Structure 1
Amino acid sequence: MYSFLVTVGGIQTPMVLDTGSSDLWMVSDACKTCQTSLPLLPQASFVQAGMDVDLLYGDSLTGTHAAGIIGTDAVTFAGISIPNQFFAAINDTDTNVLDTGCAGIFGLGFALNSVIWNEVFANKFESQSSSTSAKRSLPRPRRLLPSSNYGTRFFPNLSNLISSQKRASSADLTKAVLQSYSSYGPALTRMVTTKSLVAPMFTITLQRDTLDVGGNAGVLSLGELPDGIQQSALTWGYVRGYPGALQAPPDSPDETYPVAWEVFIDDVFLDGVRLPRSNLSSSKIALSGLIDTGNSLIRGPADVVNLVNSRVGNTFACTTPHTLAFSIGGKLFPVDARDFASPTTTDGNLSECSANVVETDAPVEGQGYQYSWSLGDPFLKGVLASFYYGNITYPSVDPPRIGFLSTVPADGGRRGAAERSAECGKE
């Protein structure tokens, strides 16, 4: 996981950069089970907005949560200050965020996938659209759900804000949604909609903390590509749009809006051999993957993951290089052999390894998110990834997309095997 320093409520602390979620939160000093030496948000001085939030992460196998209260304060990072930013002060969590040396999560996803934005928007929209105060029931995104059913893959559906009394039309709702982003959307979305960035994009590279020959230096670049990198050097994959996630505006009835940083995948290869498609999902679902800096592993369909493990072995010699590669936009992007596997023990023994590939919930046709793979840190340590929002109001004019530049050396597998062999020789 990649972290950087963020100042929230006057407290500067490391936070996890998470492209797989959209919410900003920080552990508060009201959390009785949070044991850490990190500075925590003083809840007594927190400017509360009168709303609670329960953020659920992961899937049916690895669900975790972070619960607390919503409020506002200035948020400062990378020399940029964003006033009146909505975020959550967390007073109960079973995530491993504190174990990573961070005190919160900085979500970089789209506003439609933000539980905090959903809560704030629904509250304000209903206040403006009706004099009644009837309690609403708001669906949650796939990664952030209102129950313990983490395997559900539903994303927000704002249509329940259009009541049978026709207090607001679908066109009114869409207009209000798009206008809300600049005022109380996620931090990066606000910067994009207010044109605070030179270009509507950010770029991330993750730094390998071990076996680092040929690895990236950790970088977050806002509004432009890092120095020395040209846009033409990247291979760009379009982000999936979801019909119905937000009603298209009347002046552009065919618009579809993105909900997550999810790109289409041509095929997946193991050691140069194309892997079959999963039989757990409909063949009508186009193959895609979530590009997720908040995921420490690569997650995929259970049947394909089992095939990977059967071919490489549930455990194998760490000195044996294996290459898992994803074809995106017609170009292969391999996972560095040094990131594909991890030692099976924590005592420094590098003789036996297992693949950093695990199963996750399969998509169901027509039900929420449709991605089969979640490409986490093992994939992202071998690429420069540039996330381009495009035109948030009219995606068809300038579509959202992700650009990739492989940083895996051609002889990465051999060099990684030599490195591990040398490490083993020291024992």
Structure 2
Amino acid sequence: MRTSISDVLLLSLLSTSAVLASPAPIITKGTSIPLTRRSVHKRSPTDWEEWAVRHRTYVTNKYGGTLDSKSKRASGMNLLTNQGADSDYYGSIAIGTPAVSYNVILDTGSSDLWLASSSCTTCATASGATTASASSNSIPLFDPSSSSTFKNLTTPFSIQYASGEASGSLGQDTVQMAGFQVTSQTFGVCDEANGVLTSPLSGLMGLAWQSLASSKATPFWQTLASSGQWDSGVMGFFLTRYGNDTHSSNEEPGGQFTMGYLNNSLYTGDIDYQGVVSNDVAYWTLPLSSLNVQGQSVSLPTSGQDMYAAIDTGTTLIGGPSDVVQSIYANIEGAQAGTGSWEGYWLYPCSTQVQSSLAFGGQSWSISPADFEHTPIDNTGETCVGAFFEVSTGSSTPGWIVGDAFLKNVYTSFRYSPAAVGFAQLASTATSQNGREGNAPSATIGSPAAVVSSSGGVSKMSGATSVRFSAISGVQVLAVAGALLGGMVLA
């Protein structure tokens, strides 16, 4: 059958009408990515003992403190592996040209970005393989030679952990995350990372301030925040809870991390902001103004570093000065100090529902009993480990490290200028996601709407608009295009 010119014109008009009638996307400079949380109650008591040593040693070293001689027996262990299996929250980034996606821990307690490289022979993998191609379950490793935009800076780089260090050299390349792109981003390319990583994690992205960075590089988020490309100079975190779900899978939906806006559907009321205390910002540090356990107020230091807390998404529990932590458990009947692998932790009857709360100069925020209870120490389920543990930090670092055991109970905002951390009450749309069955998000690569250079230059992608999305893949983009064209996908 022959097609007349009038038929072609009619088809063209119908297609145009379908496009115009389609709802327009919400345009914003803020974007978001889903987080993945790896489950907790799949471990044996022996596994948890090993985790306890690694966790406390890692946090102590991270904040420049020292351990007593008893704890130093386990100095060969490394927390990062166990944090990942317990309650680490990670998102995906893409690096290089062509871009390749990687899962990284999102850590507001440090400031460096680093990845395990393809030359790493000590990087742990789920299957015991040492290269990315050796097993489908192995850690994806960054191959500098596969990226046409990679630049080797030939500068040594190392990050110290409890059992050693992740080390290599610094490089520069294009980094994408949640719809934003930074060109010439400096990061560590590590060829030594023994025991540091487990599949599917390839590295870590620090979300604290530049002054804390071992590389001296401006962190990815800080380059974006200072570029003027965000709708608002904020990052938002919502973290899900699966720790009290004995049927959880190894990977579960973990919540949401946003850059440039806050997802107000996940919280109610106003954000209670408190200013970061230091003029030379490094950690996200707030004064800890009150602590309440089982209805009793716990006395807090009023001077020195022990009155301050670092808000740290990369730490599982809540570390604090020994004398104050001991006072916390004095309010819990049957609590006792841990010994052996549990040195520095405290134990209490699992049947006790511990009510606790923290305040940072403003509103007081409750911690769920489910989060105060970290894990039973044996198969009887009678004795549990509490979320607060004893830690000694360095003389110039905060005495408190407030991690995910607290942050799962609030919506958290990290504000660029003036530097502040804010908390808000979680909405029912957020709390209803705790323990919900669902598929964990997978790492995908989207098209960046804005490109920012590490030196501060900004450019728009040709023809691009900045649309709020969660790492849209190529297949999803094609599906969206089909919807906008009234179901017609043009090859």
Q: TM-score range by the shorter chain?
A: 0.5 to 0.7
Match of 1:402 among 392, 414, 421: 421
1:26 matched to which residue of 2?
Answer: 115
Q: Deviations over 1:87-142 (max 9, x none)?
A: 1111222564x2373111011111111111x2xxxxxxxxxxxxxxxxxxxxxxxx
Q: Verify: 1:297 aligned to 2:317, yes or no.
A: yes
Aligned length: 310
Q: CA deviation at 1:40?
A: 0.7
Q: Deviations over 1:294-335 (max 9, x none)?
A: 011110001112233344313333231112311123311122
1:35 matched to which residue of 2?
Answer: 124
Within-5 A mapping of 1:356-395: 356-362=387-393, 364=395, 368-369=396-397, 371-390=398-417
Question: 1:24 & 1:284 partners in 2: Cα distance?
Answer: 30
Match of 1:308 among 305, 328, 333: 328
Match of 2:173 among 73, 92, 101: 73
Partner-residue secondary structure (3-state), 1:218: strand
Within-5 A mapping of 1:323-338: 323-338=355-370
Question: 2:179 & 2:364 partners in 1: Cα distance?
Answer: 36
Question: 1:357 & 1:285 partners in 2: Cα distance?
Answer: 18
Match of 2:200 among 101, 110, 118: 101
- Tell me, yes or no, if the aligned pair for 2:113 and 2:205 is still in contact at 8 Å: yes
TM-score by length of 1: 0.66
Higher relative contact order (CA 8 A, sep 6+): 2
1:52 matched to which residue of 2?
Answer: 156
- Tell me, yes or no, if the aligned pair for 1:225 and 1:231 is still in contact at 8 Å: no
2:186 matched to which residue of 1?
Answer: 86
Q: CA deviation at 1:350?
A: 3.8
1:270 matched to which residue of 2?
Answer: 293
Q: CA deviation at 1:231?
A: 9.1
Q: Cα RMSD (Å) of the superposition? A: 2.9
2:209 matched to which residue of 1?
Answer: 110
Match of 1:188 among 217, 221, 225: 221
1:178 matched to which residue of 2?
Answer: none
Question: 1:354 & 1:232 partners in 2: Cα distance?
Answer: 33
The one-letter code sitting in structure 2 at the alignment partner of 1:107 is G
Moved more, 400-409 or 7-16: 400-409
Q: Verify: 1:239 aligned to 2:328, yes or no.
A: no
The one-letter code sitting in structure 1 at the alignment partner of 2:274 is G
- Tell me, yes or no, if the aligned pair for 1:13 and 1:38 is still in contact at 8 Å: no
- Specify every segment of 5 or more residues in structure 2 that has no aligned partner in the other structure, as ranges: 1-87, 126-137, 247-252, 337-346, 436-491
- Residues 73, 361 of structure 1: alpha-carbon distance in 2 compared, 3 angstrom cutoff: same
- Residues 317, 209 of structure 1: alpha-carbon distance in 2 compared, 3 angstrom cutoff: same
Q: CA deviation at 1:291?
A: 0.3
Question: 2:320 & 2:225 partners in 1: Cα distance?
Answer: 31
Which structure: larger Rg?
Answer: 2
- Tell me, yes or no, if the aligned pair for 1:65 and 1:95 is still in contact at 8 Å: no
- Residues 389, 309 of structure 1: alpha-carbon distance in 2 compared, 3 angstrom cutoff: same
1:161 matched to which residue of 2?
Answer: none
Q: Verify: 1:220 aligned to 2:257, yes or no.
A: yes
- Residues 85, 305 of structure 1: alpha-carbon distance in 2 compared, 3 angstrom cutoff: same
- Residues 284, 3 of structure 1: alpha-carbon distance in 2 compared, 3 angstrom cutoff: closer
Q: CA deviation at 1:77?
A: 1.4
Q: Deviations over 1:43-62 (max 9, x none)?
A: 445531120111125xxxx5
- Residues 64, 350 of structure 1: alpha-carbon distance in 2 compared, 3 angstrom cutoff: farther
- Residues 305, 230 of structure 1: alpha-carbon distance in 2 compared, 3 angstrom cutoff: closer
Question: 1:285 & 1:25 partners in 2: Cα distance?
Answer: 29
The one-letter code sitting in structure 1 at the alignment partner of 2:407 is L
- Residues 408, 270 of structure 1: alpha-carbon distance in 2 compared, 3 angstrom cutoff: farther
Q: CA deviation at 1:31?
A: 1.8
Question: 1:354 & 1:235 partners in 2: Cα distance?
Answer: 30
1:141 matched to which residue of 2?
Answer: none
Identity across aligned pairs (percent)? 26
Q: CA deviation at 1:18?
A: 0.3
Q: Deviations over 1:317-362 (max 9, x none)?
A: 3231112311123311122110111223476x54321102211225
2:341 matched to which residue of 1?
Answer: none
Question: 1:321 & 1:105 partners in 2: Cα distance?
Answer: 34
**Runs of 4+ in structure 1 over 4 Å off:** 43-46, 229-232
Match of 1:288 among 304, 308, 311: 308
- Specify every segment of 5 or more residues in structure 1 that has no aligned partner in the other structure, as ranges: 119-183, 242-255, 391-398, 417-427
- Tell me, yes or no, if the aligned pair for 1:335 and 1:408 is still in contact at 8 Å: no
- Residues 219, 103 of structure 1: alpha-carbon distance in 2 compared, 3 angstrom cutoff: same
Question: 1:272 & 1:408 partners in 2: Cα distance?
Answer: 25
